[in-house]
Every structure is written in C-alpha cells, then in structure tokens.
Structure 1
Amino acid sequence: MKSNQEPSTRRTIMMILKTRGPASVSDLAGELNITEMAVRRHIQGLEQEGLLLAETVKIPTGRPYLRFRLSERAEEHFPHNYHQLALDLLDELDEEDIARVFEGRKRKLLNRYQPLMEQQTLGERVATLTDIQQNSGYMASYEQNRPDEFTIYEFNCPINRVADQYNVACHCEQELFETLLGAKVTRTECIAKGGQCCVYRIQK
C-alpha cells in the first residue's frame, strides 16, 4: 500500500531539483532526511512518469554515480502562462510593434505596483517585489548581502519560451525592477539563456 506522503515527497523532490539543479540519490536523501532506498523508490516513480532524467557523473577517483534532473515534461508541473498563444500573437508583429507591446506591459505593471512601494526602504521594496514575483509564479526569493545590497532569485520563468525568442522581455523586466526599486539592477543569470534560475543583483 502506498503511503499518503508519497505524492508530497515526489513533489518535494521535484521542487529541490527545480530550485537547486541536478542531484544524486545521496543528496536527496540528506535533504529529505529519508533513506536512499526510499529516494530510489520515489525516483523510479518519477522516471516512469517521464518527469526525471538520469545522467552519469564521472569523478577522478571512485565510481561514477547517477545524478537526476527534471525533464522538459516536468516543467508542465510548474506555473506557466499561455506562452504559445503569446508567441503566435507576437509572430504577427514587427520588431517595433513587439517593443511597444513589452514597453506597454512594463508601464502597466509599474502603475500597478509602484504605489505599493511608496515610502518603503530599499529592503522593504525588495521584499515587496519578491512577494509580487512569487505570487506571479516565478518561485522567487531574496537575500540581503550587505546593508544596501540584495539578490533576488527566480527559479521559474512563466514566460520562458517568450523570453527565449524575444530578449526585449527580459530587458523590460530588468528596467521595471530598477524603476520600482530605485536602485541599480544587474542580471547575472537568466533561465532563458540556459541558467538554472534568474538572478538579479541589486545595489543602491
């Protein structure tokens, strides 16, 4: 008989792989505080559903080991917008019209969120923006590095396929962040460019 915890454990494994990248059975067992045998059972189920892929890692000394990562099919289990519809519509526009679309979206979001951040400190604005992105499906979190320096992480990109074809989407998002935060924002990693997550460094 299957445990009631099995679906939630599999979901947790997927979340770990989504936010931290490929991991071994040993890594997952340590993170979940369960036996490696139990992890293998969950991994087997996820593989049968086509949600995980295994890759062999060779090391200078010792035996090679398997590391697991999410498959493309697994991405369907995380928040996404209607990217195909958006792509189809954008394909009908020329470059100038596409730029206007994203600029218009940026202005709309700016008008929506800027009032929420009035009178806030930089740290409070970063926290507010992270909450906004989290609620929008970006799986966002942040950390404070120094008194006036922060990092925002986005482990999911609901518009990944759009951003992959139209760089202006990422550019407008970065500009939106800079305006909302009133600070310099540098993107050091990007999902649309093959990164594990989107990383934004924020400095006053």
Structure 2
Amino acid sequence: MAHAQSHGRGRPENVYSLTPAAAEHFPHAHRELAADLVEFLNEEQLQRFFERRAARLEAEYAPRLAGLDFEARVRELARLATEHGHMAEVVELPGGGLAIRHCNCPIQDVAVRTPLPCKNEQEMYERLLGAPVERSTWVREAASDCTYQVKEGSKQVG
C-alpha cells in the first residue's frame, strides 16, 4: 500500500507499507515470544494475566449476548470465538444439548505450556451462557479440537 506524505516544500514522498496479507509472508516471532513469556512469568502472574484477558473478552462479548435465548447465546458465542481465530462451530449433541467446537487454537503455543487460558475461557463461557460448561476434547491433550459441552442453565444472562 502507498500513500503520499508531505514534508513541507517539494514533492510529497510516497510511503509504502505491507498489507496484513502480505505481512504473513515475512518472519514473525510472536509465537516464540508468547511461549517465552509463559516460561518466564510465575504462576500468579500468568493467572492474573489470563484472568484480565478473559475479563476483557467477557466485557466485549456480554453486550452481544444480552437478551438472547440460550441457543442463540451459544451460537453467537461460537461466532465471537471465530472472530478471535478459533474457527468455532456449534454441534448438536446426540442426547440433546449443544457444544461449541473450536477447530483451531490461535494460542496453541501457549496452551500446550499452561492450562490457564483454557481454564479461564471455560469459566468465561459459563458466566456468559449462565450454564455449566464441560470440556470434552482438548488440544492440550492431543485432540484435534477443543469442544465445550454446554448444559442449558436456568439463568438468563444479560
């Protein structure tokens, strides 16, 4: 991408930058950095970090779930998870009930080193859905996805 940038007298200078798609073709060290942070921070610091991260996401998600019935909340939560890289889908369970399946883990390099982000995510889902949530598959335990089974709760959220 280019845009003209003026520096006073003379011709404007063309300034070029990469698009997000083009940037993917260049080396990144963010995965390594995130993994290093998990190794260097102590358990209490990690816990506080992941709690704050979950609180930030919960504050973002809650208004978008407010006033929806149970099934609509589950479906919207899966859509929100997809917006954050989880490639989530809602699965109808054989005996009734719903599950949210994350087909991708955007923080897998971190999740294999500590269960904290997954634990906080599960607890956040319970609060947002007003229902118990049980993890039945977990990438951390060598599964191909993470699946959260949701038991319909009586509590209306929002």
The question of a shared fold, defined as TM-score above 0.5 by the shorter chain, is answered with yes
**Does 1:96 find its partner at 2:44?**
yes
Q: Distance in 1 between matches of 2:128 and 2:66?
A: 9
Q: 1:169 matched to which residue of 2?
A: 117
Deviations 1:79-124 (CA, angstroms, capped at 9, x unpaired): xx93322122233321111110001101111111111111111101
**Does 1:131 find its partner at 2:88?**
no
Q: 2:130 matched to which residue of 1?
A: 182
Give the aligned residue type for 2:103: F
Q: Distance in 1 between matches of 2:146 and 2:37?
A: 25
Secondary structure of the equivalent of 1:119? coil
Native 8 Å contact 1:184 1:202 kept in 2: yes
Q: Distance in 1 between matches of 2:52 and 2:122?
A: 14
Give the aligned residue type for 2:88: A
**Greater helix content:** 1
Give 1:102-117 correspondences, 5 Å limit: 102-117=50-65
Give unmatched runs, 5+ long, in structure 2. 1-23, 153-158
Q: 1:87 matched to which residue of 2?
A: 35
Question: What is the TM-score of this pair, normalised by structure 1?
Answer: 0.57
Q: Distance in 2 between matches of 1:193 and 1:147?
A: 25
Q: 1:118 matched to which residue of 2?
A: 66
Q: Distance in 1 between matches of 2:98 and 2:30?
A: 31
Give the aligned residue type for 1:153: R
Give the aligned residue type for 1:124: A
Q: Which is bigger in relative contact order (C-alpha 8 A, separation at least 6)?
A: 2
Identity of aligned residues (%): 33
CA RMSD in angstroms, aligned pairs only = 2.1
Q: 1:144 matched to which residue of 2?
A: 92
Question: What is the TM-score of this pair, normalised by structure 2?
Answer: 0.73
- Give aligned pairs, total: 125
